[in-house]
Amino acid sequence: MNALMAAARRDVLLALRRRADVLTAIFFFVMVVSLFPLGIGPEPALLKKIAPGVLWVAALLATLLGLPRLFHADYLDGTLEQMALSPSPLALLIAGKMLAHWLLCGLPLVILAPVLGLQFGLDAASLGMLSFSLLLGTPLLSLIGAMGAALTLGVRGGGVLLAVLVLPLYIPTLIFGAGAVAAESAGLGAEGHLSLLAALLALAVFFAPWATTAALRIALE
């Protein structure tokens, strides 16, 4: 657990020393969301209907933006080798990096999304559900994304390839996440969506660090 926290702390500190990367992803999220009303038109009923999907897809894309960098710097400067040779389990260190990725990339989206939801005319209950579904869903995006980032590490065309690998795997998260908000604003219960999202998260917490570690060891070979 110490190793996990140390790896997370280190990544957060590094990100705070070069804030531009984190802020870029957040502004990207804001901009993508704002583009939709401009492209579709400002009709309130329509905007309210598409809001969950738009916000969730934007969150997906914003997460994707930072993923190629997740392991890349550590791979280039040899830190990843040091991690692989650490007596602490590599999976724990990697889980720490995933945690940091979520704190830097997922958590801001959770906080920011309700503000953007206001632009789309979502009511208070839907805004709350939006935040909550993102709170459950964004860790999932970080976990799944890390697997893709590890697989494409140091591969040519890595960034685009990463998107091709990861986006299909994001689909269930998108469906349940956006579905929860849509169900809430339609007055139906969102418990089903949320419990499925939580089940996926539990599965990914168990599976993703392991798969990511295996992929990283292959990349280091």
Partner 1 sequence: MLTAAHLACSRGERRLFADVSFSLAAGEWLHVQGENGAGKTSLLRLLVGLSPADAGEIRWRGALVGGMKTTPETVGFRRELLYLGHHAAVKDELDALENLRFSAAIDGLAFDQLKALAALRRLGLRGRESLPVRVLSAGQKRRVLLARLLTRTAAVWVLDEAFNALDGGAVQLLGALLNEHLAAGGVAVLTSHQPLPLPGGRVLAL
Partner 2 sequence: MNLINWFRYASPQSFYPLAGRMIPLFWILALLFGAAGLWVSFFVAPTDAQQGEGYRIIFVHVPASWMSMVIYLAMAFWAGLGLALNTRLSSMMAQALAPTGALMAALSLITGAFWGKPMWGTWWVWDARLTSELILFFLYVGFIALQSAIDDPRRADKAGAILALIGVVNVPIIYFSVKWWNTLHQGSSINLTRAPSMAQTMLLGMLLMALAFWMYSIAVSLLRLRAIMLERERHSEWVKHALE
Residue type, 174: L
- By CB under 8 A, is residue 45 in contact with partner 1? no
- By CB under 8 A, is residue 14 in contact with partner 1? yes
End-to-end Cα, the chain, rounded Å: 26
Among 22, 84, 165, 175, binds partner 1 (CB under 8 A): 84
Least spacing, CB of residue 148 vs partner 2, in Å: 9
Among 8, 151, 194, 201, binds partner 2 (CB under 8 A): 151
Kindly state the number of chain residues that form the binding site for partner 1, as judged by CB under 8 A: 28
Q: Report the site for partner 2 in 7-36 (rule: CB under 8 A).
A: none
Among 20, 38, 45, 85, binds partner 1 (CB under 8 A): 85
Mutual angle of helices 90-101 and 124-151, in 10-degree steps: 140
- By CB under 8 A, is residue 219 in contact with partner 1? no
d(CA 152, CA 219): 8
- By CB under 8 A, is residue 187 in contact with partner 2? no
d(CA 212, CA 220): 12
Rounded to 5°, the CA angle 25-57-111 comes to: 55
CA distances from 120 to 43, 47, 112, 138, 143 (A): 9, 5, 13, 21, 29
DSSP assignment letter at 18: T
From partner 1, partner 2, none, which one binds at residue 118 (CB under 5 to 8 Å depending on kind)?
Answer: none
- By CB under 8 A, is residue 1 in contact with partner 1? no
d(CA 149, CA 78): 17
Residues forming the site for partner 2 (CB under 8 A): 147, 151-152, 155-158, 161, 164-165, 167-169, 171-172, 175-176, 179, 183, 196, 200, 207, 211, 214-215, 218-219, 221
